[in-house]
Structure 1
Amino acid sequence: MFENNIEPFSVYAIKYATVQRNASDNFIGSDPHDSATSMDYYVWVARSKEHLFLIDTGFDAQRAISRRRIFLRCPTEGLSLLGIDRSDVESIIITHMHYDHAGNLSLFKNARFFIQDSEVAYVTGRSMRHSFLRQAYELEDVLDVVRYVHTDRVNFIDGNAELVPGLRLHHIGGHCAGLQIVQVWTKQGWMVLASDASHYYENFESKRPFPIVLNVHDMLEGHAKLNELASSPSLIIPGHDPRVMERYNAPSEEMEGIVVQLA
């Protein structure tokens, strides 16, 4: 299937960590007595014959200890199962700079990073004087990005951009200052990797915002944008929902429970 002769991408989710959470941790207004659920942590791969993009880079075992997360594996292990050596990764999209999306940058020696201008400005600006606002960020991750800016390895995105035919970035407000989602052309149509524009399916399906939010109105508008950009609601992939691993199949037995193919 092609749109204007665009080659479709194959898309994968790699699970690298998990944690147990209460429903009230995931939805504004939830009853704190609601049953617990888990939150899974992913990075994603979009690959075609000509292009390879890694979307986000996760965190490491040390960060898992300090943040009380269950670390399952380095994200690079999932890449290896897909036949991708980290040295071959040349293009990395950072959806935003929260600790679970922008760690491990130093592992990718040959990569350039695509990140929203507004996110870098935010994490290096006056808002970081407030401990409450900086708690989802790690200083070392921010310093890594600044180092890469100074060595010409950061591509700044201002709003929306098409990186290659069939792969587009869109700035989405709400969760943080510079969140970007990835719209990617697949054999099924336009798929949207929502990252933290919607942590769970239920966030955008039921219009129930996630509590870590800079602007609730913008987050809800972002949910509507996800539906506009995806060819079907079934092609919206939330950033942390364990059901992603249930709805999609592993490419091989070896990858069971680690990697699923989304398209």
Structure 2
Amino acid sequence: MSVPVYEVFAIRVGANAQRTARENFLYDACCGDPNASMPLDYYFWVIRNEQQVIVVDTCFQPATADRRNRQMYRLPEESLRQLDIDPAQVENLILTHLHWDHAGNLGLFPKATVHLQEAELRFCTGPKMAHRTVNKTYEVEDVMSALPPLFEGRLRLHTGTVEVIPGVTLHPVGGHTPGSQVVRVNTARGWIVLASDAAHLWANIRQRSPFPILDDLAQTLEAFIEIDRLADSEDHVIPGHDPLIAERFPHWNDDPHIICLHANPL
């Protein structure tokens, strides 16, 4: 039986235009002048074909963007409706991890089965959250929003690699957070990997120079190896925050914030 093929869209929600290169690498700027401007974009992702729709991550809410001084281009639900997707009808939602910029809108998906690694929920409800340096990458409201799906039987806490539906698999890699997972998807151009924050930028993974927010350095480096193994090529690796994504792939209906990752790079 052939593996189903999916479209995959990166949905750009906002940006951090003030960031410099030195802030995006643990030990060195990697790409020249450490003081050079190196913005980050904020995305979530949609996987779909004629039978299925899966949303990957939920980005953040306007109040969070204001509090954290981030630019917001468009509400996530507005971009979903551009793709004729009603978030209230989505049946599967994948959370790569629970950081503030990935888990801020769970309430938009009241019917969805939510897929999360158990290690992530244990970590962000455990004693290490007492450290401000650790908990500032989470929003307590976002973590709490995972509890209604848990009590309703909609939260699937995974403990390893799992197939969500044929052609879409989850792979725990840790590193960035204890429960970080990446998503492997079969598309018309081959198997792509949505790396999320396991690799913020192409430069992080290609230069083996990690982003400085991490839980385990060695595991982060091992995650790079696993991501490369899972993807058909380096062009099939999709980082979590790289503005170059919007330049290297075509856009859906010329929409500046909806990018077609299933299409060949430009």
Class of the TM-score when normalised by the shorter of the 2 chains:
over 0.9
Aligned to 2:41: 40
* Structure 1 gap ranges (5+): none
Aligned to 1:118: 119
- 1:6–1:33: structure 2 CA closer, same or farther, 3 Å change rule? closer
RMSD: 1.1
Following the alignment from structure 2 to structure 1, what is the Cα–Cα distance between the partners of residues 149 and 208? 37
Q: Which amino acid aligns with 1:12?
A: F
Following the alignment from structure 1 to structure 2, what is the Cα–Cα distance between the partners of residues 178 and 144? 17
Aligned-residue offset at 1:33: 4.2
Q: Does 1:13 align with 2:10?
A: yes
TM-score of the two chains, using structure 2 as the length reference: 0.94
Aligned to 2:161: 160
Following the alignment from structure 2 to structure 1, what is the Cα–Cα distance between the partners of residues 92 and 202? 27
Aligned to 1:28: 26
Aligned to 2:128: 127
Following the alignment from structure 2 to structure 1, what is the Cα–Cα distance between the partners of residues 88 and 52? 15
Secondary structure in 1 aligned to 2:64?
helix
Following the alignment from structure 1 to structure 2, what is the Cα–Cα distance between the partners of residues 163 and 36? 38
The equivalences for 1:93-112 within 5 A come to 93-112=94-113
Q: Deviations over 1:208-228 (max 9, x none)?
A: 110001111110110011110
Aligned to 2:90: 89
Following the alignment from structure 2 to structure 1, what is the Cα–Cα distance between the partners of residues 130 and 86? 38
Q: Which amino acid aligns with 1:68?
A: N
Runs (4+) off by over 2 Å: 30-34
TM-score of the two chains, using structure 1 as the length reference: 0.95
Aligned to 1:174: 175
Secondary structure in 1 aligned to 2:186?
strand
Alignment size in residue pairs: 258
Aligned-residue offset at 1:147: 2.4
Aligned to 2:139: 138
* Structure 2 gap ranges (5+): none
Following the alignment from structure 2 to structure 1, what is the Cα–Cα distance between the partners of residues 86 and 147? 25
Aligned-residue offset at 1:49: 2.0
Q: Deviations over 1:160-183 (max 9, x none)?
A: 101111000000121001001000
Following the alignment from structure 2 to structure 1, what is the Cα–Cα distance between the partners of residues 207 and 233? 16
Q: Deviations over 1:205-254 (max 9, x none)?
A: 0101100011111101100111100011110000000000001111213x
